[in-house]
Chains A and B, each alone.
Chain A
Amino acid sequence: MSTAAASASATAANLEQRRMPFWKRNQRRLAPALFLAPGALMFLVYVILPIFESIWISFYQWDGLSEMTWIGLSNYTELLGDPAFYTSLWNNVLWLVLYLLAIPAGLMIAIFLNQNVIGIRVYKSLFFFPFVISQVVVGLIFSWFYAPNIGLFPQITDALGLGKIAVLADARFVTYGIIAAGLWPQIAYCMILYLTGLNNVSPEQVEAGRLDNAKGWRMLWYVILPQLRPATFIAMVVTVIGALRSFDLVSIMTDGGPYGTSRVLSFYMYEQALSEYGYRMGYGAAIAVVLFLIMMLFITGFIWRMVITEREG
């Protein structure tokens, strides 16, 4: 009897379901697709597909207007013999390595500011300030700072007995000068990440550390830094991406000069593809692909770690 009743009710439920309109029956299954569609479509058209298009364009010779000519790997072999490419690549390495200094520097400032005195909130905001303004403005600020005669920096080097150094006009210093300008907002960013992290450090562990006589560096290294790991991870991600994305400052401060010595890959690509030097879209795309591959090395690492945390939590 019970089976008969159960099957009867099952049929009833089935009938009930059939009578429900298509939408009501399937909305749980269709809803995610519908919610995703607009955003995913935009992202696909403007971000995902262009990546593959660029890779494809890099095998062509193309001025952006006339017919595209397939030239296979020629753009890449040309890159291998292009001294400007190596200059840009080397500068990118410099950017990457020196930019990472933003992480310890940001941590130092965060530790310095992590106090409860009157007005400290204002100090924190003002220290963070450089991150809010655009890189174009940062570039102009530092162009003034370095400007011969009128700027502050040559005065400082002069007072130190080094003579008036015109940083942006000197091939030896120009990239370091631009990186210093880039570090300014980047340190601010890392600082705010660490301030938030320090805010959440467990007081019990710090007290326990103090009881164990951990002080200063030892405390920082063994007790504090392990708890700041999430902040360090994000600081690492944004700093590496920021270093490889550097374009604005180079464009504003030197336009790649003097004599192309301050170019980075992102800037060189733009110069080749879209500036008065000619519209070499294919060659530009090949430079972009190289930059993309370098970036992918890091992105894959970052995503890998994020997937692991995602699976765990």
Chain B
Amino acid sequence: MFPRPIERAGTGGRALYQVALPVSLIIWLLPLIGIAITSIRPASDLANGNYFGVPSQIALSNYLDVFRQSPMAQYLFNSLRITVPAVIGAVALSCLTGFALATYRFRTNLLVFFIFVAGNFVPFQILMVPVRDLTLKLGLYDTVTGLVLFHVAFQTGFCTLFMRNFIKALPFELLESARVEGVSEFRIFWHIVLPLMRPAIAALSVLVFTFVWNDYFWALVLTQGAGAQPVTAGLYTLNGQWVASWQLVSAGAIVAALPPVAMFFLMQRHFIAGLTLGATKG
């Protein structure tokens, strides 16, 4: 193990480590802690210049005000309506593409695979004008569907990379023996491979949920008003409206951040497994 386990250090070293941990964490999360405290600070504190002291009272009313004074509920609902179908779509499509690229040998296999990988790295701006144009032509501008379609397509790139590598690592003999038995390709996929892919599906779902929920650029490009805008784009609008009301901006930011944070803490193992794919081999 590297570094040397702290248990083997002297009493002084161990104590120092136990102190250094919380101190460094507080420094690391300082901006976040600051905004969390600001979000429960009553507006009067800010007016009186009490920016950093103990809040005179805990004003959870800021959170209520966020919902009362803005379409925050609608924004959150839109984010959900965008994220859930996008996750299902991208994961479903990439189960198929990943299976195809992992189990069949054909001439263009590696080429197709690396097109998916490379497409996944391009800057969004090179896609912006044509995708916006396409969405307009389909009559899907400023709709949830327009955003969902794009996210499904784009995330399929990353998901294919993930799924293909995952299926490649599965025991191949199982598949071969099923083929010898004359099981059809679709039954092999459905009855043999898909059940084995459950951990990959879980990991990808959490990851893609976070990616799509946190998307801001495409929300700006493909939507306009509170009717279809997700919470990220909504926050930008609200930030402009609540110029000096930091307690509202902070509360709004925390509300918008909660769903992916909850997802992360609930599904931590899957999340990290997905994110660190390839960090140990390859």
Chain B interface size, under 10 / 10 to 19 / 20 to 34 / 35 or more: 35 or more
> Contacting chain B: which of A95-103, A161-169, A295-303?
A295-303
Interface of B is mostly: helix
- Give the tally of cross-chain contacts (CB within 8 A): 292
Mark interface residues in A258-289 (1 if CB within 8 Å of B CB, else 0): 00000001100110011000000100110111
* A81 CB-CB contact with B under 8 Å: no
Contacting pair B239 A252 (CB below 8 A) = yes
Query: A289 to chain B: which residues have CB within 8 Å?
Result: 126
The answer to whether the Cβ of A211 comes within 8 Å of any Cβ in the partner chain is no
Q: Are A230 and B213 in contact (CB under 8 A)?
A: no
Q: Decide: A147 near B246, CB < 8 A? Known: A35-B96, A291-B126.
A: yes
Within 46-65 of A, Cβ neighbours of B (below 8 Å) are at 46-51, 53-54, 57, 64
Per the bound structure, the CA–CA distance linking A149 and B280 in Å amounts to 46
Q: Mark interface residues in B145-158 (1 if CB within 8 Å of A CB, else 0).
A: 00001101110110
CB within 8 Å of A: which of B119-145?
119, 121-134
Pick out which of these stretches binds chain A: B55-63, B64-72, B196-204, B255-263: B255-263
- The answer to whether B265 and A125 touch across the interface, beta carbons within 8 angstroms, is yes
Asked if residues B268 and A36 are in contact (CB atoms below 8 Å), the reply is no
Which residues from chain B sit less than 8 Å from chain A, CB to CB?
A: 1-3, 5-7, 17-18, 20-21, 24-25, 28-32, 34-35, 38, 46, 51-52, 93-94, 96-97, 99-101, 104, 106, 109-110, 112, 114-119, 121-134, 149-150, 152-154, 156-157, 160, 184-186, 189, 210, 213-214, 216-217, 220-221, 232, 235-236, 239, 246, 249-250, 253-254, 256-257, 260-261, 264-265, 268, 272, 275-276, 278-282
- 25 A-B pairs whose Cβ atoms sit less than 8 Å apart in the complex: A31-B186, A33-B100, A35-B97, A42-B152, A43-B153, A49-B130, A53-B129, A123-B21, A129-B32, A133-B214, A136-B253, A140-B235, A141-B35, A144-B250, A196-B272, A223-B2, A234-B276, A248-B216, A248-B217, A252-B216, A274-B132, A281-B129, A288-B129, A299-B121, A303-B118
